[in-house]
Amino acid sequence: MGTVGGGTFNVLQRNGGEITRRTGREIVVAQVAQRRPNPACDMGTTNTSDDIFAVATNPEIDVVVELIGGYEPAKQLVLTAIRNGKHVVTANKALIAVHGNEIFAAAREHNVVVAYEAGVAGGIPIIKALREGLAANQINWLAGIINGTGNFILTEMRDKGRDFADVLKEAQELGYAEADPTFDVEGIDAAHKLTILSSLAFGIPLQFDACFTEGIGQVSQEDVANAEALGYRIKHLGISRRAAEGVELRVHPTLIPEKRLLANVHGVMNAVLVDGDAVGPTLYYGAGAGAEPTASAVVADIIDVVRGLGLSADSRVPALAFDASQLSDLPVLPMAKVKTAYYLRMMATEKPGVLAQVTKILGERGISIEAIEQKGHEANQVPVIILTRSVLEGQMNDAIVAIEALADISGHVTRIRVEDLDG
């Protein structure tokens, strides 16, 4: 009965009549397990327990809703519920991304459903879209803003010229970011969600450990302004693409053209862009977090599960969109084999021939330059900005090592990936 638990309880109470009009049946909260009461909820005569495992064994309960978050005790609760023949609805992306393969296997064994729409992009029904709405398609790629805190920080940095640390502090005060913001800022939360989306899109097992993850902590105000001047915006994206040799699975700051709808998703809002071979590009936008937006997805899952109570397994949509026996062993590509374009920023000594050395290093590795710009000088050092065309990340890693070794380049080369996302 934390934020999402309270929201779910309140939505079920407030909209119970509308839900019954839709489903022809009443959804009853048979028991609530809570460590402490949520002051936002009027529990009335609801049966409560301070033993969370009580709900997993309560014979009156058909569906256990897990809204604890984190790995434990959530995992034990979910597995106990499954073993007791109960369907499970959860908003727990970390649990699904990391332990989903095991949890879904247990659910198949016990012939129950585990639903997790609320785990990705809050109230946006993106899991339903991928599992059902786009089921006719071979998915080519998807890209999403799937962490509201990160997007809030980048939006403030751009709109108000503020620094990362300053905005992060405000996000924590506003309650958007946790006291420990690591999961948001370092991209781990986004990687959990992307891992799930990628499995749903391509029919591969969940492989959180294979997800490349880079946070937004290294994005400077200078990069935000440079991107803007070049007609781009920096967004923290999760990207997954089906390439010839495998699946790309990566979370990182990304320059995208300012005209794209994704570039215009501001503040704490989320959006996911999915490109299918038949449908082309489609986009899903909404609140990615918060009590009631997340509850909207939790309750939609409850309704789906309740409507399907008693269905045989082959009338259900598979947990990971594809039949469990049909998951593909298409590998997740290592980052060195991912092809993308780059924004590079470096400090060069202001003297003739330095740019020639840099462009020579790029050219020798087959890296074409889209644009190059030398900005106003600071003492005898000048910032150089380069936009490249698409190249294998391995080639770029190699080029950056060589550029950083140049005597006339000082410090590290900043590298931010660039995606066109033209569906």
In the complex, the residues that contact a copy of itself under the rule CB under 8 A are 7, 11-12, 14-15, 18-25, 117, 122-125, 128-129, 132-138, 203, 259, 261, 264-265, 271, 276-287, 290, 292-293, 295-300, 302-304, 307-308, 310-311, 314-318, 321-323, 326
Question: CB 277 → a copy of itself: shortest distance, Å?
Answer: 7
Question: CB 406 → a copy of itself: shortest distance, Å?
Answer: 42
For residue 155, CA distances in Å to 2, 148, 150, 158, 184 come to: 28, 10, 9, 5, 15
Residue closer to a copy of itself by CB (options 124, 197) is 124
Residue closer to a copy of itself by CB (options 76, 328) is 328
Residue closer to a copy of itself by CB (options 175, 411) is 175
Question: CB 116 → a copy of itself: shortest distance, Å?
Answer: 14
Question: CB 298 → a copy of itself: shortest distance, Å?
Answer: 8
Residue closer to a copy of itself by CB (options 188, 271) is 271
75, 86, 93, 193: the active-site residue: 193
For residue 136, CA distances in Å to 207, 273, 281, 421 come to: 24, 17, 14, 22
Question: CB 393 → a copy of itself: shortest distance, Å?
Answer: 28
At residue 281, what is the residue type? P
Specify whether 193 is catalytic: yes
Question: CB 377 → a copy of itself: shortest distance, Å?
Answer: 36
Residue closer to a copy of itself by CB (options 237, 382) is 237
Residue closer to a copy of itself by CB (options 134, 216) is 134
Hey, which residues are catalytic here? 193
